[in-house]
Amino acid sequence: MSILLALSCLALAGPAIAAFPDCTTGPLANNTVCDTSASPVARATALIGLFTLEEKINNTGNTSPGVPRLGLPAYQWWQEALHGVAESPGVIFAETGEYSYATSFPQPILMGAAFDDELINQVATIVSTEARAFNNANRSGLDFWTPNINPFKDPRWGRGQETPGEDPFHLQSYVYNLITGLQGGLDPEYKRIVATCKHYAGYDLENWEGNVRYGFDALISIQDLSEFYTRSFETCARDANVGAFMCSYNAVNGVPSCANSYLLQDILRGHWNWTSDDQWITSDCDAIQNIYEPHYYAPTRELTVADALNAGADLDCGTYYPENLGAAYDEGLFAESTLDRALIRQYASLVKLGYFDPAENQPYRQIGWANVSTPEAEELAYRAAVEGITLIKNDGTLPLSPSIKSLALIGPWANATTQMQGNYYGQPPYLISPLMAAEALNYTVYYSPGPGVDDPTTSSFPAAFAAAQAADAIIYIGGIDTTVEAEAMDRYTLDWPGVQPDFIDQLSQFGKPLVVLQMGGGQVDDSCLLPNTNVNALIWGGYPGQSGGTALMDIIVGNAAPAGRLPTTQYPLDYVYQVAMTDMSLRPSATNPGRTYMWYTGTPIVEFGFGLHYTNFSAELSQPSAPSYDIASLVGACEGVAHLDLCAFESYTVNVTNIGSKVTSDYVALLFVAGEHGPAPIPNKVLAAYDRLHTIAPLSSQQATLNLTLGSLSRVDEYGNRVLYPGEYTLILDVLPQATVSFTLTGEEAYLDYWPQPPA
């Protein structure tokens, strides 16, 4: 008799709540799963041993019905918390009152622009604390499918706003601090929540010229896969000990990611040693089904689910596993032990979350509504927005003069509220638009929405021009929006959309101070604004979250000082005609000008890492301790270091002085490595270290310590191996160099890491 899905069990699962099993008087009370002295794996193994085969198969989808006869509740594995507890199948916001909102931080692309790892850890701690409060109130599960840690290499990508930026080292530092904040440490006795690094791997295309993410085959060289596309995932697995991974929709070199044993086994679980039996892999939603169609990788549905399960995809976000694993088992396509392994991994992770433990035995079951949207959380949401906002142009007009009493706030973002959150957002306690913030500052405000983001008409011009004429200064707030950069949707142009460029040009002819705010996650070409002397200032504001309007206006009037740095390159318009989104290669070629600041051979409109201040800084970089270093001696000093790329090289001191006399400001110290060494063509330069110094007062100094490792100096060869090459190395402080120092590595090249080669 075939083992088929008991559909009635799914139907009975009801809403996605997170009731806890009764380990005191319930059916599981005497089972090892409720024995707090046993290991998580032993406890989960005992639980799964009670399941029938049908019950095992029933619980392989994200909406798991549990096992009612055992007192195991239904469980929803799918929660979202990209920049705050977010709307998702497993998160239930109340209509009013308690649990009707949660703190909504800026999108990761803007928080990435802060280059402040401590900030990211604090944000993650608050997000996971609020997630625990929701879980304790049966309003969410404990597994959150965040963060999106794919590098943002192409400005057309619709989901780039969900990431911290384009630089792999920056992403590694960001995600380490995010994961440890979300989970409550590297290996705590109880995890606060389980985070999920996604989308593994090579995922940065939604829908571009008929190429759709569900069936796209990303052709990636082993060098690029190792050097760029997987570095942040290595940190998730090897260094930050993340609890879960998500395999992506796309294929990599012909094999769908969720059936790709080279990705899921050889690299993830083998090379990165992500081997704990409480760590598991989920598919992206319906990605298992996509293996069958439109990838057409497996000829039958039964082979499709077996390929994914055998490759290591433990959970199906969808229903393809529950619907087809029974028939696949009947055909002998997988062993029951493989199914057990998947379920044990998931339920062992719930053990690590305290799911089966008495509330009084663990630290997080006492968290409640009083811990949601606290004054500290609201202040941090505001600070995260301020720290990321980036000043691109300023002729001295900003901060606005106190003599300016009235403002014309014009543009499709001028009264934005929900729009300020980007995507994957929840219900915030409040949303402050720029208009609301300007009025709160007691300006006389003349507001006009002007033309919409994609509006091709000029019908709104007269009302907007009347507002501009009436005011002392003009603030235009526009750019792109989630309607043209979003999941399942990529952009085709880097221009300001609609009639915005012409409209801004006409505003610049009023002879009044004009400040332009470019909003949205991806960069657009600002070359129509930068040379226009009547556009006095230009700010990139990203998606700044619940306090976005306040943060933007405080920057404009000088209540806060800008110190953000662009986390992506701003390319010229013709970049989109020079390289296809489907081209995954990074290095320049006859059909590719190069990707990201590391390999781009053209002239960017605005560089990665660029950002102006309201004051001026000088910075001094300490000298190397020696003019040259022997490679064999450097590597030989790393005895006992588990990963040679993390072995310390040298620390450099940066002494930063605010040489202005009026404005206190933060400063981000960026340290790049450049040099003629390694495989050609090598990167132009690579970010090796950074630190954000806070509130440097006028005419005072602060010191940053930037730590380099052997990995900071290494390059990746064509086989994906990380190699320390001899040659001259130059350290460059800041984008517009404040200082440079050089040294030489001598001797024979040394391999710091050997990348696993794909099957023939």
What are phi and psi for residue 556, nearest 5 degrees? Answer: -65, -40
Give the span between the Cα atoms of 57 and 64, in whole angstroms. 10
In terms of domains, do 390 and 357 share one? no
Structure confidence by residue, pLDDT tens digits, 583-642: 999 999 999 999 999 999 999 999 999 999 999 999 999 999 999 999 999 999 999 999
In terms of domains, do 442 and 559 share one? yes
Which residues of 555-664 form beta strands (DSSP E)?
Answer: 617-621, 628-630, 648-658
In terms of domains, do 521 and 553 share one? yes
Chosen domain end from 577, 609, 631: 577
In terms of domains, do 133 and 177 share one? yes
Inter-axis angle of helices 500-507 and 461-470, nearest 10: 30
In terms of domains, do 541 and 559 share one? yes
pLDDT band at 362 (very low <50, low <70, confident <90, very high): confident
Does residue 265 lie within any of the structural domains? yes
What's the pLDDT score for residue 18?
55
Show the tokens assigned to 510.
Answer: 């009023």
In terms of domains, do 260 and 354 share one? yes
pLDDT band at 573 (very low <50, low <70, confident <90, very high): very high
**Residue of higher predicted confidence among 569 and 1:** 569
Whether the CB-CB separation of 668 and 563 falls below 8 Å is answered with yes
What's the pLDDT score for residue 560?
98
Inter-axis angle of helices 117-136 and 168-183, nearest 10: 40
Show the tokens assigned to 389.
Answer: 């906002």
Give the span between the Cα atoms of 569 and 581, in whole angstroms. 16
Q: What is the mean pLDDT of residues 5-10?
A: 32
Structure confidence by residue, pLDDT tens digits, 9-43: 333 333 334 589 999 999 999 999 999 999 999 99
Please give the DSSP secondary-structure letter assigned to residue 284: P
Chosen domain end from 523, 550, 577: 577
Does residue 612 lie within any of the structural domains? no
In terms of domains, do 314 and 406 share one? no
One DSSP character per residue, 391-448 reads EEEESS-PSPPTT--EEEEESTTTT-SGGGG-SS----S----HHHHHHHTT-EEEEE
Burial class of residue 611, CB neighbours in 10 A (0-12, 13-18, 19+): buried
Question: Does 4 score more than 90 pLDDT?
Answer: no
What are phi and psi for residue 208, nearest 5 degrees? Answer: -135, 115
Count: domains in the chain: 3
Does residue 331 lie within any of the structural domains? yes
The CATH number for 629's domain is 2.60.40.10
What's the pLDDT score for residue 6?
34
Residue whose entry in the numeric block shows the structure tokens 């039964």: 302
Does residue 30 lie within any of the structural domains? no
Structure confidence by residue, pLDDT tens digits, 279-313: 999 999 999 999 999 999 999 999 999 999 999 99
Whether the CB-CB separation of 38 and 341 falls below 8 Å is answered with no
Give the span between the Cα atoms of 719 and 121, in whole angstroms. 34
Structure confidence by residue, pLDDT tens digits, 369-402: 999 999 999 999 999 999 999 999 999 999 999 9
In terms of domains, do 428 and 344 share one? no
Chosen domain end from 371, 402, 435: 371
In terms of domains, do 660 and 725 share one? yes
What's the pLDDT score for residue 676?
84
Give the span between the Cα atoms of 544 and 381, in whole angstroms. 9
Give the span between the Cα atoms of 678 and 631, in whole angstroms. 14
pTM of the full structure:
0.96
In terms of domains, do 190 and 248 share one? yes
What's the pLDDT score for residue 5?
33
Neighbours of 722 (CB within 10 A): 22
Neighbours of 26 (CB within 10 A): 16
Question: Does 482 score more than 80 pLDDT?
Answer: no
Please give the DSSP secondary-structure letter assigned to residue 353: T
Helix (H, G, I), strand (E, B) or coil at 531: coil
Active site residue 266: no
pLDDT band at 457 (very low <50, low <70, confident <90, very high): confident
Show the tokens assigned to 129.
Answer: 């604390």
Of the listed ranges 314-318, 449-453, 585-589, the one predicted with least confidence: 449-453
Structure confidence by residue, pLDDT tens digits, 713-731: 999 999 999 999 999 999 9
Whether the CB-CB separation of 169 and 688 falls below 8 Å is answered with yes
What are phi and psi for residue 606, nearest 5 degrees? Answer: -140, 135
Does residue 607 lie within any of the structural domains? no
What's the pLDDT score for residue 483?
63
Residue length of the chain: 760
Does residue 659 lie within any of the structural domains? yes
In terms of domains, do 510 and 650 share one? no
What are phi and psi for residue 658, nearest 5 degrees? Answer: -80, 100
For residue 391, the cross-strand partners are 539, 612
The CATH number for 559's domain is 3.40.50.1700
Structure confidence by residue, pLDDT tens digits, 520-530: 998 999 999 99
Structure confidence by residue, pLDDT tens digits, 655-690: 999 999 999 999 999 999 999 888 888 899 999 999
Domain housing 723: 617-753
Does residue 165 lie within any of the structural domains? yes
Does residue 524 lie within any of the structural domains? yes
In terms of domains, do 175 and 61 share one? yes
Marked catalytic residue, from 117, 154, 167, 284? 284
Whether the CB-CB separation of 741 and 673 falls below 8 Å is answered with no
